[in-house]
Structure 1
Amino acid sequence: MDWENLLSLKRQGDKLKRLRKEQDETRLGFEVDYDRIIFSSAFRSLQDKTQVIPLSNTDFVHTRLTHSLEVSVVGRSLGRVAGKKIIEKHPYLKEVHGYQYNDFGAIVAGAALAHDIGNPPFGHSGEKAIGEFFVNGMGSKYQSVLTEKEFQDLVDFEGNANGFRLLSKSKEGVEGGLRLSYATLGAFMKYPKESLPKKPSKHIADKKFGFFQSDKENFVEIAEELGLISTGKGGAVSFSRHPLTYLVEAADDICYTIIDFEDGINLGLISEDYALEYLIKLVKDNINTKKYNSLAFKEDRLSYLRALAISTLITDAVDVFVQNEEAILNGNFGVSLLDKSKYEAQVTDIISLSVDKVYRSQEVIEKEIAGYKIISDILEVYTQALLRHREGKASNYDKLMIRTLPQLYRNTEASVYEILLNTCCYVASLSDRSAVHIHNKIMGKQL
C-alpha cells in the first residue's frame, strides 16, 4: 500500500480526482468529513446509547456520544503526531502532493468520531440480542430463504458493518450516504472483510466483519480505490486494514481502558485508592510527584493521572506505529498497537479490573437482560409485519405497526434479506430509551 492512495480525498460519485494541493485550507475535505458526521442524526442518537452502564441515571457515566467525542480528540492527537513523523520520513507527500501532518489528524479524528455510530442500544449486548433473535428466536425460521452469508450477517449482527452502511449507503436523492472521503471511510473500516469465513486467520483485521452483503460492491470499490491489499481466499472478500485504522483503534482502546475505569470509580464500583494505585503504575515513568502530592482532592489527583495516562499511551502507540510502518503498509501487522505497547501489562491489569468490577456488575447484567427481551420483542413484531405485508397477508395490526416505522424502513418490496437487515438496522438506530418506549407501546404498557 502507498500513502498517496491511502490519503484519497475522493468521494462517492466523483468524476474528477481531488488533489490535496488544490484543497481550500479553510475548508479541508477531511475536516468536512468530521462536520458531516457530527451533524448527522445517527451521531446525535449516540447521546442516549450505552457505553458501559445502560440507562444510567448519573451524570458521571459516559454515553456513546461522549465516548466518541473523547476518542476523536485522542485520535486527532495520534494522527497528528504520527503524521508529522510519516511526512518527515516521506517528504514527497508534502513536497509533491501537498499533504500536511494535520491531514492525518483530521482523517483519524473523523473515523474515530464515527467508530460507534452503528452500534445498537444497550451496548455490546444489543448486537448479541439481535443475533440471538436469529439463532434461537423467531428469526431462525428465515435461515432457509437466505444465503449462508446473508444469514451470517444477521446472526453475527455487527455494529461496525452497520456503521459503514450508515456512512456510505445511498438513499433516494442522497447518493453515497454522508459522502465522506475514501480516506476517512478506509480508516473507519476496522474489519475489512465479509461475515464468512469467520476468523480465517489470527490477524486482528479478521476478528469480526465490516460490511453486510448488501454493501459488498460499495465496500470493494472503496478498498480498491485506496489500494488495500486483497487477502480473501476461495472467492471470499477480505482486505488488509487501512494503516490509519490502527490509530483509530488505539484511540478507542486508550479511552475505554482509562475512561471506563474512571466511570467505575465515579460509580463507586472500584475503590478510589485501589484505582489510583493502578494508574500510578501506568504513569510512574512520567509522573511529576511534587505536582501530584500538591493536589488536595482525590478527584483532582484522578484527573491528573487520567490525563497523564492518556498522554503516555498516545506517545507509546505512535512509537509502535512508526516502528512498524513497513509491516503495516504490507498488511503484516496482525495485532493492535496497544498489544505491542511497553505498558501492555499495566493496561491489561486495568482492563481486567474494569471487567470484574464494572462490566460484570449487577446493574449492568440486569439491564442487559432487559435489553435482550426488548430487542427481541421489537424485532419479532416488525419483521413479522413487514414480511406478511410483502406476501399480501398483513393484518390490521401489522399495517398499524408498519405505519409507526420511519419511511426509510417501510419498504416491503425488497428481498427477504433486505427487509430483515433493514429492520435490524432500524432497531440498531434506536437509543436506549427509545427502545424502551417502543417496547412499552408494543406491550400495551403505554398509550
Structure 2
Amino acid sequence: MMQWERLLSLKRHGDTHKRLRKEQDETRLGFEVDYDRIIFSPYFRSLQDKTQVIPLSKTDFVHTRLTHSLEVSVVGRSLGRLAGAEVLKTHPYLSEVHGYRFNDFGAIVAAAALAHDIGNPPFGHSGEKAIGAFFSRGPGRRYQDALSEDQFEDLVRFEGNAHGFRLLTASREGIPGGLRLSHATLGAFMKYPKGSLPRKPAPHIAAKKFGYFQSDTDSFREVAEELGLKTLGSGADRFYCRHPLTYLVEAADDICYTIIDFEDGINLGLIPEDFALEYLIKLVSDGINTEKYRAIPAMQDRLGYLRAIAINSLVRDAVRVFMENEPEILSGEFPVALLDRSRYKAQIADILNISVERIYQSPEVVEKEVAGYAILSDILEVVTGALVCQLEGELSAYDGLILKLLPETTRMPGATSVYDVLLQACSYVASLSDGAAVHLHNKISGKQL
C-alpha cells in the first residue's frame, strides 16, 4: 500500500535533502512553484503553435495544445482540490501531523496537467507515429543494428509522455535536474510508469504505453523510489503502478477533450449544431435549467452553458469514483481510467464516437496529418544523418550546414553513442511547433531562401 505522505513529496528533482510541508512558505508553496516553472519554460510556450485537433488551423475557434493544456490544468485543479478535501477527511494525520492542505492536491494536479502534453510532437498524435515510422519503415531503420532492443523500441514507438518526462527532468550543463520540479508533480505527470519494453505486460492502464526512455531510467527510478510507487508484475514484466493523482490528471484531460474537442467540431461546422446539442443535453440532463437554456439566443453561449454543466458533472463524478476506489488505487489495483467507471460512460462514448467520425477523421485533419508525416520524416533524415556523421567524424559540407541550423543543445558534441544522438534528434523535432516544422522543412527542401 502506497503512503500519501510519501506520494506528496516536496523534494525537488536534483535535491539531496527532504523538504517538509509544515516548513513551507504559505505565500508560495513548492507545488505552486512547479506550476510557475512549467508555464515559463520554452517547452510550454511552443504549445501555442501545436495541434490539438486541427493541424495548422488559422481559425480563432480552434484550440491549440497550449489552450487545451491551460483548460486541462483548470479542471485538474478542481479535481485535485475536491479529492484532496476528501482524502484529508479519510487520512486526517496528513494535515494534523504533516501540515498538508486540500489545495496542495489541487496544485499538484494543476501543475502535472499543465505539463501533460509538453512532450507531444507537432501535428498531433500523428507526429508520434511519424517519428516511429521513420525508424520502423523509413530511412531511420538503418540505425537498428547500432541500438539495443530497448533503445530501438524507444524510437519506433516514440512516446510523447516519455519525451515530456525527459524535458522536465533532463540535466544540462549548469542546470542539474531539469526544471527541478517536485517529485509529487513528476509522479502525477507519469501516466505510464514503465520502460518501452515489454509492450503491455498486463491489462493495467499503467502498462498501456511507456513513460520514460532508456536514457532516463535513473531519473525515473529516483522519482519512483522517493514516492514509494508500488511495483506490479514480476521478472521482465515488472512495472510500476501509477501515482494516485495521475488518475485525476488523466480525468482532467479526458473531460476536456471529450467536451471541448466536440465544441470545436461544432464551431467549425463539422458537427451540426442541433445534432451536437442533442448529445450534450443527454450528458447534462440532470443539471440543466431548461428555462435558462431556452432563454439564451446565441449558439456559442448555449454551448458555453452546456459545457460548464457537463464539465462540472464529470468532475464531481470522477472524484466520486476516485474516493470510492482509493484503497485499490493506493495498492496499485485499480486498472482503468476514472471515466471508465463513470455513471456517464455511455454518454461520453456517444460523444467520442461522433468526434472520431466527424472531427478526427475529417478530410481537413487527414490531409494535414499526411503532410505532417512527410515533413517530419524529411527533417529527421537530414538531422539524424548530420548528427550521426558528426559522431563518427565523417561530416560532409552539407552535414556541417545542417548542424548550424540546430540549437547548440541539439548538436551534442560530447555524445558518445548513436542512441544518444538519435534520441536528441527526435527530441529536437518533437519540440518544434507546427509552424516551425513547416518553416524548417521549407528551408531544407530549398523552398525558402
Q: For the superposition of Structure 1 and Structure 2, which TM-score range results when normalised by the shorter chain?
A: over 0.9
Once the two structures are overlaid, the 10-residue window that deviates more, 3-12 or 235-244, is 235-244
CA deviation string 1:249-284 (max 9, x = no partner): 000000000000000000000000001000000010
Name 1:288's counterpart in structure 2: 289
Name 2:262's counterpart in structure 1: 261
Name 1:148's counterpart in structure 2: 149
CA deviation string 1:125-144 (max 9, x = no partner): 00000000001100001111
Name 2:226's counterpart in structure 1: 225
Name 1:421's counterpart in structure 2: 423
2:334 maps to a residue whose letter is: F
User: How large is the Cα RMSD of the aligned pairs?
Assistant: 0.8
Partner Cα distance (2:369, 2:296) in 1: 38
- Any unmatched runs of 5+ in structure 1? none
Q: CA deviation at 1:235?
A: 4.3
Partner Cα distance (1:318, 1:144) in 2: 48
Partner Cα distance (2:391, 2:218) in 1: 26
Partner Cα distance (1:253, 1:153) in 2: 25
> What SS is found at the alignment partner of 1:393?
coil
2:425 maps to a residue whose letter is: T
Name 2:303's counterpart in structure 1: 302
Partner Cα distance (1:229, 1:118) in 2: 25
Q: CA deviation at 1:236?
A: 5.4
Q: Is contact 1:187-1:244 (8 Å) kept? A: yes
Name 1:166's counterpart in structure 2: 167
Partner Cα distance (2:5, 2:83) in 1: 16
> What SS is found at the alignment partner of 1:120?
coil
Partner Cα distance (1:114, 1:48) in 2: 15
Q: CA deviation at 1:36?
A: 0.2
Partner Cα distance (1:231, 1:86) in 2: 24
Partner Cα distance (2:389, 2:91) in 1: 59
Name 1:338's counterpart in structure 2: 339
2:148 maps to a residue whose letter is: T
Q: Is contact 1:194-1:237 (8 Å) kept? A: no
Q: CA deviation at 1:411?
A: 1.3
Name 2:86's counterpart in structure 1: 85
Q: CA deviation at 1:12?
A: 2.1
Q: Is contact 2:201-2:237 (8 Å) kept? A: no
Name 2:189's counterpart in structure 1: 188
1:159 maps to a residue whose letter is: G
Name 2:248's counterpart in structure 1: 247
Partner Cα distance (1:336, 1:14) in 2: 32
Partner Cα distance (1:111, 1:192) in 2: 14
> What SS is found at the alignment partner of 2:178?
coil
CA deviation string 1:70-107 (max 9, x = no partner): 00000000000000000011111000000000000000
Q: Is contact 1:254-1:310 (8 Å) kept? A: yes
2:423 maps to a residue whose letter is: L
CA deviation string 1:4-37 (max 9, x = no partner): 0000000123232111011000010000000000
CA deviation string 1:182-225 (max 9, x = no partner): 00000000000000000111111111000000000110111011
Using the size of structure 1 for normalisation, the TM-score is: 0.99
Name 1:391's counterpart in structure 2: 392
CA deviation string 1:260-310 (max 9, x = no partner): 000000000000000100000001011111211111222111110011000
Name 1:358's counterpart in structure 2: 359
Name 1:444's counterpart in structure 2: 446
After TM superposition, the structure 1 = structure 2 runs for residues 12-161 of structure 1, keeping only pairs within 5 Å, are 12-161=13-162
Partner Cα distance (2:411, 2:432) in 1: 16
CA deviation string 1:33-63 (max 9, x = no partner): 0000000000000000000100001000000
1:353 maps to a residue whose letter is: I
> What SS is found at the alignment partner of 2:276?
helix
2:441 maps to a residue whose letter is: H
Q: CA deviation at 1:232?
A: 4.8
> What SS is found at the alignment partner of 1:11?
coil
CA deviation string 1:370-391 (max 9, x = no partner): 0000000000001111111221
2:209 maps to a residue whose letter is: K
Give the paired residue count. Answer: 447
Name 2:378's counterpart in structure 1: 377
Partner Cα distance (2:302, 2:86) in 1: 32
Partner Cα distance (2:141, 2:233) in 1: 28
Using the size of structure 2 for normalisation, the TM-score is: 0.99
Once the two structures are overlaid, the 10-residue window that deviates more, 355-364 or 231-240, is 231-240
Once the two structures are overlaid, the 10-residue window that deviates more, 221-230 or 385-394, is 385-394
Identity %: 70
Q: CA deviation at 1:145?
A: 1.1
> What SS is found at the alignment partner of 1:215?
helix
2:173 maps to a residue whose letter is: E
Partner Cα distance (2:163, 2:16) in 1: 27
Partner Cα distance (2:168, 2:95) in 1: 29
The runs of 4+ residues in structure 1 deviating greater than 6 Å are none
Q: Is contact 1:264-1:357 (8 Å) kept? A: yes
Q: Is contact 2:109-2:248 (8 Å) kept? A: yes
Q: Is contact 1:194-1:236 (8 Å) kept? A: no
